[in-house]
Amino acid sequence: MTDRIDRLVRTWIASEQEQEINDTASEIAQGNATLLGLVKSLGEYLTAEEDDLRTKGVEFLSLVLAKCPPEKLNRQSVRVLTTFYCGKLEDTETIIPALKGLVTLTKLPAFASTDAIEVVKATFSHVKMKALVQSQRFMVFTVIDNLVAQHREALKGLGEEFVKGYINLAEGEKDPRNLLLAFAIDRVLLLEFEVQKYIEDLFNITFCYFPITFRPPPNDPYGITAEDLKGTLRACLHATPAFGSMAIPLFLEKLTAGSPVTKKDTLDTLDVCLPVYGPSVARENARKLWNCLKLEIFQPTDSATEEKALKTTQVLIQTIYSASEGEKGDSQEIEGLAKDACEECIQILREPEKSQAQHAIKVLCAFMSTTPSVARFTLMRAVPHLVRLFLNPDELPNRAPTLRLLADLIEAARESTANDPEVLPEEGTVPLSPYKDEVLGVLTVGLKTPASALPAIDGLKSMVRTIGLLTDEELGFVVHNVNEILEKEEEEGDISDASLDLLSTISSFAPVHVSGNTLPLLFTALPDRPPPRDAESERIRYWRTLAYLKKLCTQSDLFETLVVRLSTKLDLVCFPSMSREDLPETDLEPAAAYAHSILKTLADVLSTKIDQGHADVVKYIDRLVPRLYNLFIYSALLAEERPTVATDPRLLAVAAQIVTLITQTLNAGRQAAFVKAVFGAYLDGNVTQLTDGVQKIPGDKTFSPLQQGAPSPQKNLVVLFAAAVISLHREVSLPVPDETGLLKSLLQWTVNDAENALQREAVVHTIAAILNRHAENLEAFLATDIATFWQTQIADNAAPVESRRNAILTFTWLTKALLVRGHNGAMTNVDRLFELFNDDSVNWDAAQAIGRVPGHDKILTKKNHAVIKILYAQKYTNSVLPRIIEGANASDPLRQNAFLVALAALIKSVPKSTYAHQMTFLMPLLLRGLDLPDNEIRASVIETLQAAATSSGKDNGLLAEHASSLVSTMLKNSAVAQTPSVRVRVAALRYLATLPDVVRYDVLHPQKATVLRELGRILDDPKRAVRKEAVEARTNWFKFTG
């Protein structure tokens, strides 16, 4: 084995290859050799006269040592190697490889404290840092860092010798990698070593780097940032109170003369240093620090520096007064900086309308989160002053700014006590308590005037959110005063919104006041009878009232009241009192509009509650849904005798939204019970399990909306049937013996019985929802019935065109239901749609269907518990798009246009990421799509081009290539004479406005004069929206220069 080691040594000395090092380390690891044996083999090189051989010998030993397992180095080996390497530090030729060896040795478990002392002394004696390059100095710092981490107590035993020696080593270091280590060592020394004698030297080798101005070079392989250095240096600067008297003058200098970045760094550093430096140093320098901070607060260069200065002011006050907090219980005993600064700010607040008052109140607000005594003193001085200012007749014009200042202070007082909302404050510990009566008084006075109402509401909101401040009676007083604002019809939107926000805040913890005072007021304002068509002011009044209720009634108790009262109101609107029945009701539109607003309010509040995760929504499957079914079924049955309000399809749509929202929140078991009642009513005519309400369903009338020959008002109620089915969980089984038979009959119903789009869409949505959940159980329907439907209703040229188009829409939903769940049948259906491209009567309909299949809809969604596979749209696009591109380029003109229509529909339906990589091939096709006569398609194409343009940067090569065609096409689509569609004209003008931002000037310059001339003509467009976009586009082109 000795021969093998000798051979490896000689080979490496000659070649310096990595392989020899690995082989040698492997021999030692396997126990075939020892490190001491390696030293013997290296003997002639380690003691050679030639510097190069001697250096190589030590280098080889260090490299092998670094790769050896630690367990192969016993105490004796480490001891011998330590002595050896320390000796080599004296040799200027071997100092570098010796340091490499020491880096490894000092980490080893067998490295003892005596070895540490020997290494430290040798390093201090023989290593001259100024003679070493960065990587070599890094090894020195690494050795010291290892020793400090592993053998701290031994180094402490050296006393001044270690501290003084380290200071000499670290002095003058500039490299960021080395400084990170040096700062870490500095902090340990300052915290744990006896350094008082050398505190000034340590100050000099740390504070000389403040502030850090390092900027990492591009592609820095070490990844060191300025923040890394700032953080480690800051840890040193606040490591000892002894730095205080020397550091503060330096900080003051940087605050006075530094750049904005330096000032922010200084303020951040002061935040952590002041508490460590202690109250004595802070008090001694308080006035100087305040003068600097005051400048940054009252004359800020930017908001970030202002915020940091306020934070530092807080820290300064806390540092000065926290120590004596226990001794001074009385706020009147406050002396020093807090008192002086407070007085300065109060003086400025004498002119609340001036901008300086805003800065002064920020300082006082900052004081609120310092110490309890300072907070009490601040309130004692500021609140009475602002109250007097508000009540002063001479200051009447300044009431609004005064209340704004007071509201800010109240909010700061609230934040200073908002520690734990579950723990109620003790009596008398809420800082604002002594002044709440006066403050409440001026805020309620401020509510009466529009100019001061907003700040007054903000102040009241902060008061009601302050735990333990207002009594229940006082909360009622606040609600009463805010109600007066809601009663004023001419009130501005901002004020009423803020009032509602305040009432909502109160209702979240004390709903009894809102339900007992505000809601009766609002419900009384809602008329029992709909205003006639010409009563616009009355209609606006009930719109406003319903808007108020919508914002207020999300809390569970309030929503329950809302449901009861609005359900009653809905009954009164849809079924007027008997005394009015004999009156001719020829115009039902006002009543329908009023009922629609009521239902929409309920739907919007439900949607908000679901988004907020309210658990009480589920109970309205029993309390609201049966009343809705009762209302609409009764109305449909009554419509056979006379016109009724609730047969209006617009009301049905909103009622369906309510049913779906509530059904979404139910678990599978509760959904199953509900859908059983729905199917019983719609398939068997048994409505008793589904309906409940004031109106009693007549027993002599039959409810059978899905039966052949059913009256149109009953057929319209399939909307509510669909509403119950589309949000069912996958595991809910339908209460029918044969789901295939059900779907087959529903599919036939859309062909033979549906009278309008409302009915057809509702049933198609029902089929799609069932097919999406239970496709695995419906193979017969998929294999036979869909194929039959295709052949008889779509592929048959003899069928009426309108009927075929309706059937294609149905077929689109069937395909979508399969696609989103990843079923193979979806692509089979798409292939069938492509077959229609030769049929000029329906080819565009088929093309649009292909594009719409992967699009987002409101039926097959996660909220509705649909079965959805991820990336279905991407997979679909990857399959269909190449086929569309090929067809648009290769086929005859008839088919080409169909492929262009499919392309336009597809790119509108899917995320941009699915087709972005194909834009080079798509751009010419999209430009051809702009010549199609369909306005919807042209608008979609332009909007797609717009999205692609805005997401790309300047100098877009693809746009530059087609710039001339794009400009001329967009100008043509912007002119009213050639393009009647407002949507197309607006989209084209927006695209023209975007072009100067994404295409180089030299490319667009030849078009500039033409564009400006044509845009000048478009400024006379009859539509205001078009003129507005033309002005924007013309401005962008005017400013467009090289």
pLDDT band at 420 (very low <50, low <70, confident <90, very high): very low
Average pLDDT value for residue range 366-393: 92
**Least confident range of 124-128, 230-234, 306-310, 927-931:** 927-931
**On the CB side of 159, how many CA atoms lie within 13 Å of its CA?**
2
Kindly indicate the confidence band of residue 936, based on its pLDDT and cuts at 50, 70 and 90. Answer: confident
Q: How far is Cα 465 from Cα 475, in angstroms, rounded to an integer?
A: 11
| Range in 138-147, 318-327, 519-528, 1019-1028 the model is least confident about | 318-327
Q: What is the percent of the chain where pLDDT is above 70?
A: 96
Whole-number pLDDT of residue 326:
52
Q: How sure is the predictor about 587, in pLDDT bands with cuts at 50, 70 and 90?
A: confident
Residue 616: pLDDT band with limits 50, 70, 90: very high
pLDDT at 147: 93
Mean pLDDT of 675-703: 92
Neighbours of 121 (CB within 10 A): 15
**Cα within 13 Å of Cα(783), Cβ side:** 5
Tell me what the mean pLDDT of segment 371-390 comes to.
93
Tell me the average pLDDT across 247-272: 91
The model's confidence at residue 2, banded by pLDDT at 50, 70 and 90, is low
Q: What confidence score (pLDDT) does residue 271 get?
A: 95
Residue 750 identity: T
Check pLDDT > 80 for residue 258: no
Q: Give the distance, in angstroms, between the CA of residue 129 and the centroid of all CA atoms in the same chain.
A: 51
pLDDT of residue 584 exceeding 70: no
* CA pair distance 250, 866, nearest whole angstrom: 66
Whose tokens are 């294609």? That residue is: 808
The average pLDDT across 821-846 equals: 92
Q: Write down the pLDDT at residue 629.
A: 96
Query: What per-residue confidence (pLDDT) applies to 960?
Result: 81
Q: What percent of the chain has pLDDT over 90?
A: 62
Mean pLDDT to the nearest integer, 571-590: 69
Backbone angles phi, psi at 20, to 5 degrees: -65, -35
**Residue 613 φ/ψ region, left for φ over 0, alpha for ψ in the -120 to 50 degree band, beta for the rest:** left
- More reliable by pLDDT, 57 or 662: 662
Q: C-alpha distances in angstroms, 293 versus 212, 409, 424, 635, 930?
A: 21, 20, 36, 73, 62
Calculate mean pLDDT across residues 655-673. Answer: 96
Q: What is the pLDDT of residue 489?
A: 62
pLDDT of residue 36: 77
Using alpha carbons, select from 236, 247, 311 the residue that is nearest to residue 278: 247
pLDDT exceeds cutoff 50 at 529 = yes
Is 305 exposed, middle or buried, given 0-12, 13-18 or 19+ CB atoms closer than 10 A?
middle
The per-residue DSSP string of 89-112 comes to TTSTTTHHHHHHHHHHHTTSTT--
Q: Is the pLDDT of residue 72 over 60?
A: yes
Return phi, psi of residue 781, to 5°. -65, -45
Residues 6+ apart with CB under 8 A from 493: none
For residue 518, the surrounding DSSP H or E stretch is none
The pLDDT of residue 296: 92
Q: What does the mean pLDDT of the chain come to?
A: 89
Strand (E) or helix (H) holding 734: none
Q: What is the pLDDT of residue 457?
A: 95
Question: DSSP per residue over 19-49, as a string?
Answer: HHHHHHHHHHHTTSS-HHHHHHHTHHHHT-S
C-alpha distances in angstroms, 619 versus 556, 616, 657, 779?
11, 6, 17, 37
- The answer to whether the beta carbons of residues 880 and 840 sit under 8 Å apart is no
Over 60: is that where the pLDDT of 955 sits? no
In this prediction, residue 700 carries a pLDDT of 84
- 300 CB neighbour count, 10 Å cutoff: 17
- Among candidates 806, 722, 817, which has minimal Cα distance to 756? 806
pLDDT at 828: 94
Continuous H helices in 649-688: 649-664, 668-684
Output the pLDDT for position 43: 81
